[in-house]
Structure formats: structure tokens, C-alpha cells
Structure 1
Amino acid sequence: MTATDWKAWCLVYSPFVLKNELPPAHLNNWMKFVDACSILSKTSIIYEEIDDTDRLLKEFVGRCSSLYGPECITPNMHLHLHLRKTIEDFSTIYTYWLFSFERYNGFMKDAETNQKDSFELTFMKRFIEKTGALDFIRTRISSCLAGRPQELEVLLKIAGQSHTPYQQNQAQYNPLIFNQLSSDPTIDVIGSEPLPADTLLSMTEGQKTRFNEQSYELLLQHYQQHYDGVYSILQQTPGRICCYNEVEKFRSIEIFGQQYWSALSKSIRGSHIQALFLQHGDVVAWTGQVQYYFRHVLVVDRVPKQHYFAYVRWYHTEAGQRFEQEGLEEWRNRFMIDDRHSILPVHCISSQVAIVAYGP
């Protein structure tokens, strides 16, 4: 099994598969480890979650010793008790685990050497040249080539970047603020807020098209909730904000290295998501399937503003069984009627969801 397989087994499959296989005391202890891993594998973490993780791991290791004997405690399990200090020193495990490091082994095997210098020198020279060239073009040359996008595109391709990202004010991008948009449903998200660079790069080659009447009406409703004076293309109101019907659709996007797919993709795996909403004063996570992602430009005060959305169809839910301990939920296999919540800013995507058929 690869590291990804182990992660899927631990976080997704094991809680459900082991439910009737382990005695309750053993399963409850294993779930403490699963809950801790689900926090540790996130791309961002807050201090309260560090406290929770440290408590769960201490309880897990201590219980393992009483259930299976002290001889079962391995060096890795001892290492669990030092993760709190490690995260406080070096941030999330996501930022320094070895997956990225090990991927470079593949690059090293394919690197060409000149048979004159040592391999290490040749590899590092090529690596530094490539990364340095891209930084040099972005910081020094791009401003000199303003208004000449074709020439800039050629230079970026030579330096190893396949597409020119849309010019958004990345000086305003803040990863902490971006993470808060998906975790706090009380924040009013428009869809034009700054995005991570990898997300912008993943939305550079789409299909330009027009919305049907229903989808266009829902988009119009979303804008009217956030801007004053937005009118449709059927109205003639000079001096106000016109919502045009041209959009650019995408099959998938990338957020913090995670690929999110849609119903337009060849496979629907990875197209199911959850987002947080306020319902009767409570925060609830709702599950749906992304039909497609799209970009729409709205001219506000004579300035074109790019907005990034997912068109989501949300699943029905009824008063059914919820497997709270295992992190599983039961949803009906039918969609609700599309409404303005179907227009979801990509900033509000909370997580992906694994779907499996269950029940009659």
C-alpha cells in the first residue's frame, strides 16, 4: 500500500469496516487515532485543534498500553507525543511531510547529466536555474512586458509554467483569511475574493458559453444579494451594473494541491463536496455534487471583477441515521430544487466527500 492508500484506509474506510469487527473498547480507542489524523492531515490548523490532537494521541497511546501491553508501543507511537511541539515549531505536518520530498526522487532519476560533473552539482544547477528563471520573469520582466501577453506567455513556458495566471491582486491574498471563508458561514462571500495561485492556474483553459435561463437567474440573484443596482440583460437601465450572460466553464479546479472534479469530468469521483451554512442559527454541513465550475466577469464602477463559482446541486436529507462517531452521514440519492445557494463561491468549499451506496 502507498502512503495515499494508508491515508484513505485510516480516514475513510477503517471506521466503517471495523465497526462490527473490533470490540467497542478497541474501536473507540482506534477512533481517537482516526480523529487525530483527520486534523493532522489538514492543510491548515489552529491552536485549539493542536490541543485536541495532542489530547487524542495521548489517550490513544495510553489506552494501547493498557489494552495490548507496553511492548506494543513503537518508536512511531512515542513520536506521536512530540507532534504538538513539532507543529508549533514548523506549522502543519502538510507543509513538511515527505511526500513532496520523495516525489523529487522521480525528477532526479530523469535528470540528464553531462558525464563531466557530479550528478548532485548538475541536478542542483538545473533546478536552481529553472526556479530562478520563473521568479526572475515574474518579478522583473513581467512589468516590462505589460500589454504584450504573447511574449510573456512564451517566456513563462520556457521557464516551466504552462499557463499565465489571471492577473488578480495577489498582494491581497492571505491564506488565513482564505481558509476562514470556507470555515465560517457567517462571512458574506461574494466570489471575487483573492484566490491561491494554484487555483488561478487551474482555471486558465475553460469553455466559454452562455447560461440557460434558470442558471442565469440564480446567478443574478446571487449578485443582487451583494451589489446594489444589478440588472439583467433584458433590462435597459443605463448607469447601473449589467449582469451579462457569458461565462467560462471548467471541469475541475485545484485548491491547496487538492483536485476538485465535477459532473462534467469523465469520472464523477471527487465531484462531491460539503459546504457550511447557517440554518436556524446553527452551523450545518451540506453535501452536494458540483456540476461544473465557472468564471464570470461583472463590471463594477467601470472595473471588471472576476468571480469564481461552483454550480452545485444539493442532496436531500431526512431524519435518518447519522454515524457521528465514524464521520459518516446518510443522504438521499436525489437533489433538491436548484436555488441561489446552487451558485457557490469556490472559496466556500469546505471539503471533498466520499460517496458510497448504502441502504435500499
Structure 2
Amino acid sequence: MLGSLPNSHRKIEPELMRRLMNDNQVDDIISSGVDTKGLDLLNTRTPVGSLSEADEFTSDEMRRYLLYSQNIQESPITGQEPFPGEMLKPSSENIILSSEMLDRMVEYYKVTYVMYNFRKPFGEGPDDSIVISVKINKFGRCRIGSEIFGSSMSSRHVKSSFILAKFVTSDGEVDCYPGQIQYFFKHTINLQNCPVEHFLAYVRWYRPVTSGNVRYYFSSNNDHETCTVELWKSEFYPESRDCIIPVHHILGRFIPVSYKISDRRNAVEYLAINPISRKFHI
């Protein structure tokens, strides 16, 4: 039957059958009476086809990643922690950072490792300051689990470069911000005479609108919790240390859509943020 359906001649029928078989395996587990819950299903069967992309990562690793990305206050991270994924091409090695970017990196490390002092080469700072490297390895894409995130560095993958991440605001509240990944990168510093590699992303963040009524324009009965699509300004914040985040903080992707709100006098264009559910195959 599948062979009779119109297709793109990419031989997707076997993959569809594998997915159906995988679904049947999950049904068997659920109906077997065995007490297996949530991400524990990841360890019960060997996935096939494209499902095997996430197989090298255990359910414990995925749990840790979810904890990092969702509970930012309770799970502070530095960027050196393992994550269930890898950096992908296009890539460039040994890229020399600009003076401005070095300043941002120094700020990032000072906030991340409050017990140490940092400075850029030939920069000012205490005698015990750790001098950070001026080079990074740059990447256009990053795979986390079975999902691939792009960046503006790779024009072919710009559509997957729009992400959401949580921040702790100045008043101690946690808010979710939309942004566009410019590139991913690896950067190594010496901590206690040991090289420590960090997995980071450089992101430009969109500005929020000043009115809650506009941001939650699509809410039901003025209940912000029911608002799945938010309106933000279409311009970015200025570049700063906040542009540097560990890849672990990436919460998910969104689709940006221009949206206008009109009244009798004028029309204002905003950026509608449409979140995309994360892909976690079992």
C-alpha cells in the first residue's frame, strides 16, 4: 500500500515502516505491565534508521540536559558539561577573536566562575588572573538529541537558527527570550592548570515589547498562561556578554512571523514567536 502512494523517490517507505515498528514496540512495553516511565523508555529498545541518531545518548544524559535547559536557577552550568549532541559543519578552526569579543568572553567567564579572575592577553587585571585564549573553533550547526539547530553563519540552515532560552532577570524572575543563533563555538581555558573546553553559542536576542497586552495579544480571557504565541519587537538588543550562552540553555526553536496590529491611526509590526515542540524520539 505504501508503495502505491505518491512520494519524492527518496525511499521513505522503509523508514515509515521502521517508525511503525518502533511504535508497536512502545505499545508492547506499555501493555506488558512493566513499570516503565518517561525517558526510561529510551533504554528499552535499540532504535533504527534516523531514530538511532539519539541512541548514543543515555536517558540520564537527556534528563540532565532537560534539567539544564528548563531549570536554569536550580541547575547553574558553565558550558563545559557534557550534552547529548555535537557541533556540526560548516566549521572554521582557530578563528581569532576581536578585542570586543574577547571583552565579552572575559565577562562571561567572570560571571560563570566567580571564584577566579580572568583577563584577555595584555589586558588589565589581578596578577592571578587566568588569561583566556584568543582562538575559537566555530560551527554553523549543533545537534542536540535528534534535533539540529542552525545559525546565521550557514545560510542553508537559517530557518532552524531561531531559538528560545531562559534567563534570570535582574529582579530574580525567570523569563523566556527569543533570539537568533549567529554561530556555535568551542572555547578552551585553563582552570587549575587543566584545559577545559566549553560548548557555547553566540545569540542575538530580540527586544520585548513594553506592553503585556501586546506581548500576550493572543491569550485567552487575558490569561497569560494560555498564550502560546507571543509578540516581540523585531529588533535585537545590542551585543553584550548575554549573547554568549552554553548550548545547554537552548530550550527549543520557534518560527518567526511578522504580524501587524492596526488601529484607526497606524499599524505597528511585531515579531510573532511560534514555539516548536522539541523532538525527543523513543
**TM score, norm. by length of structure 2:** 0.65
How far apart are the structure 2 equivalents of 1:345 and 1:103? 26
Is the counterpart of residue 333 in structure 1 residue 234 in structure 2? Answer: yes
Structure 1 letter corresponding to 2:207: H
Instruction: Render the CA deviation track for 1:298-327: whole Å, top value 9, x for unaligned.
Output: 011110000111101100111224224351
Is the 2:90–2:141 contact (alpha carbons within 8 Å) kept by the matching residues of 1? no
Is the 1:316–1:335 contact (alpha carbons within 8 Å) kept by the matching residues of 2? yes
Report the alpha carbon displacement of residue 195 of structure 1 after superposing the two structures with TM: 2.1
Q: Paired residue for 1:253, among 136, 142, 146?
A: 142
Question: Counterpart of 2:159 in 1: which secondary structure?
Answer: coil
Q: Paired residue for 2:78, among 190, 198, 201?
A: 190
Instruction: Render the CA deviation track for 1:92-143: whole Å, top value 9, x for unaligned.
Output: 59849x9x65759xxxxxxxxxxxxxxxxxxxxxxxxxxxxxx9xxxxxxxx
- Computing the radius of gyration from Cα coordinates, the structure with the larger value is 1
The alignment's C-alpha RMSD in Å is 3.7
Is the counterpart of residue 352 in structure 1 residue 279 in structure 2? Answer: no
Percent identity over the alignment? 21
Structure 1 letter corresponding to 2:78: I
Question: Counterpart of 2:36 in 1: which secondary structure?
Answer: helix
Structure 1 letter corresponding to 2:120: S
Judging by fraction of residues, say which structure has more helix. 1
Which residue in the other structure is 1:242 paired with? 131
Which residue in the other structure is 2:93 paired with? 207
How far apart are the structure 1 equivalents of 2:119 and 2:208? 34
After TM superposition, the structure 1 = structure 2 runs for residues 78-157 of structure 1, keeping only pairs within 5 Å, are 89=36, 91-92=38-39, 95=42, 101=48
Structure 2 letter corresponding to 1:270: S
Structure 2 letter corresponding to 1:307: H
Report the alpha carbon displacement of residue 226 of structure 1 after superposing the two structures with TM: 2.7
Using a 3 Å threshold, how does the CA distance of structure 1 residues 88 and 212 change in structure 2: closer, same or farther?
farther
Which residue in the other structure is 1:310 paired with? 201
Instruction: Render the CA deviation track for 1:238-280: whole Å, top value 9, x for unaligned.
Output: 6541112101110000001100000111231010111111222
Is the 2:89–2:140 contact (alpha carbons within 8 Å) kept by the matching residues of 1? no
Using a 3 Å threshold, how does the CA distance of structure 1 residues 308 and 102 change in structure 2: closer, same or farther?
closer
Using a 3 Å threshold, how does the CA distance of structure 1 residues 188 and 101 change in structure 2: closer, same or farther?
closer
Q: Paired residue for 1:181, among 68, 71, 78?
A: 68
How far apart are the structure 2 equivalents of 1:86 and 1:315? 48
How far apart are the structure 2 equivalents of 1:354 and 1:288? 11
**TM score, norm. by length of structure 1:** 0.52
Structure 1 letter corresponding to 2:138: K
How far apart are the structure 2 equivalents of 1:84 and 1:180? 29
Which residue in the other structure is 2:189 paired with? 298
Higher relative contact order (CA 8 A, sep 6+): 2
Which residue in the other structure is 1:126 paired with? none
Structure 1 letter corresponding to 2:106: L
Question: Counterpart of 1:252 in 2: which secondary structure?
Answer: strand
Report the alpha carbon displacement of residue 205 of structure 1 after superposing the two structures with TM: 5.1
Is the 1:87–1:93 contact (alpha carbons within 8 Å) kept by the matching residues of 2? no
Using a 3 Å threshold, how does the CA distance of structure 1 residues 270 and 84 change in structure 2: closer, same or farther?
farther
How far apart are the structure 2 equivalents of 1:321 and 1:230? 39
Structure 2 letter corresponding to 1:190: T
* Count of aligned pairs: 214
Q: Paired residue for 1:287, among 178, 181, 185?
A: 178
Question: Counterpart of 1:269 in 2: which secondary structure?
Answer: helix
Instruction: Render the CA deviation track for 1:215-237: whole Å, top value 9, x for unaligned.
Output: 22111101111331212112376
Structure 1 letter corresponding to 2:205: W
Question: Counterpart of 2:102 in 1: which secondary structure?
Answer: helix
After TM superposition, the structure 1 = structure 2 runs for residues 224-243 of structure 1, keeping only pairs within 5 Å, are 224-227=110-113, 228-235=116-123, 239-243=128-132
Which residue in the other structure is 1:22 paired with? none
Report the alpha carbon displacement of residue 292 of structure 1 after superposing the two structures with TM: 0.4
Which residue in the other structure is 1:124 paired with? none
Question: Counterpart of 1:244 in 2: which secondary structure?
Answer: coil
